[in-house]
Amino acid sequence: MRSTATRARDGSTPAAVGLTILAGLLYVLGYALSKSLVANDGLTPLQVTFLRCAVVLVGGLGAAAWPGGRVTWRRLVRPEKAWEQRAAAAALVVSNALAVLAYALLPVTAASALGFTAPLMLTLLGGLLLRERVPLGRWLGTLLGFAGMLLIVRPGGEASMLGIAAAFGGALTYAVYQVMIRRLRDAATTLDTILQVALVGVVLLAALVAADWRPVSARAAALVLLVTAVQTAALASIAAALHRGEASRLAPWQFSGLLWAMALDALLLQVVPTLGGLVGGGFVIGGGVLAQIAGRPRTGGAA
């Protein structure tokens, strides 16, 4: 008979997949809005990241001052495994800043494509650092999703080298963040993750942003609040997913963000997906299903 823990883990897998897919949608939408802040409102990528963190931190401090709430000063200032939580938060802050820079320098689809190399890195790191068993089928699912990503975007041409480097750097640090959050799943809740990212982001970026501060118009301020809400929801979704499922198993589903990017292009820019893009979308979905099936315990036999 399978153990209670195994049954609970398997039962939570659909929820983890759904949260991962939702996070992909929210991240693509949030970074597209961030691109507007840089391109149209003159803010720097670091300033956009700092303002997002500052808004969340102010909200967290307000919640901590509210008696009887879930947020407490001790939870914010002295969390369990504080150094590990803040190292994970620093990785995400760096990833966010690099991603905003990449989206500012590259078309949204190209930045998305390069940024979605993170699932491949996550599969590798999940096996090496988390000791997760990564069966061949899961690797094949990840590679199939990566091939689908290339068919959708066909990156190349006259892309900015700085933008490409920023996209890959953001993908690597995002994969590192996810691995660290997976390791902290018994010590840090999703709320802890959000608060620590806000605190670390403000501390790390304050001096750099102050040295190159750009005026923030009323329109930009409203857009910052919207971006903060969308990206915080994305952060909460992926953190909750990693509390429920294995990092390497969820990795291929992150390619679904490219499908959301295609849908947004079609809806907002009337860009019809190509045949290659549609085939790539099928590869993305197939890769996620293959990775989900790979390594699943057989039913009806001995545990």
DSSP string, 56-99: HHHHHHHHHTSTT-S--HHHHHS-TTHHHHHHHHHHHHHHHHHH
Condensed to tens digits (0 to 9), the pLDDT of residues 102-142 reads 888 877 767 777 777 676 666 666 666 556 666 777 777 77
Burial of 153 (0-12, 13-18, 19+ CB in 10 A): buried
Q: Is the pLDDT of residue 220 over 90?
A: yes
178 and 238 Cβ atoms separated by less than 8 Å? yes
Q: How many CB atoms lie within 10 A of CB 154?
A: 15
pLDDT at position 3:
44
Q: Please tell me the predicted confidence (pLDDT) of residue 6.
A: 43
For residues 256-261, average pLDDT = 75
Contact present, 89 and 196 (Cβ < 8 Å): yes
Return d(Cα 238, Cα 234) in angstroms, integer. Answer: 6
Res 152: pLDDT: 67
Yes or no: say if 276 and 262 are a contact pair by the CB < 8 Å rule. Answer: no
What residues contact residue 233 under an 8 Å CB cut-off, 6+ apart? Answer: 26
pLDDT of residue 161: 78
Q: Is the dihedral of CA 149, 153, 159, 160 positive or negative?
A: negative
Nearest residue to 179 (alpha-carbon basis) of 137, 136, 131: 131
pLDDT at residue 291, rounded to an integer: 65
pLDDT band for position 8 (50/70/90)? very low
pLDDT bracket for residue 224 (50, 70, 90): very high
Does residue 193 surpass a pLDDT of 70? yes
Does the pLDDT of residue 234 top 80, yes or no?
A: yes
pTM: 0.71
The per-residue pLDDT for range 99-113, each reduced to its tens digit, is 888 888 877 767 777
Q: How far is CA 10 from CA 2, 129, 190, 294, in A?
A: 11, 22, 20, 13
Could you give the angle at which helices 4-39 and 45-64 cross, rounded to 10 degrees? Answer: 130
> What confidence tier does 228 reach under pLDDT thresholds 50, 70, 90?
very high
Question: What average pLDDT does the segment 155-167 reach?
Answer: 71
Average pLDDT, the chain: 77
**How far is the C-alpha of 73 from the C-alpha of 77, rounded, in Å?**
6
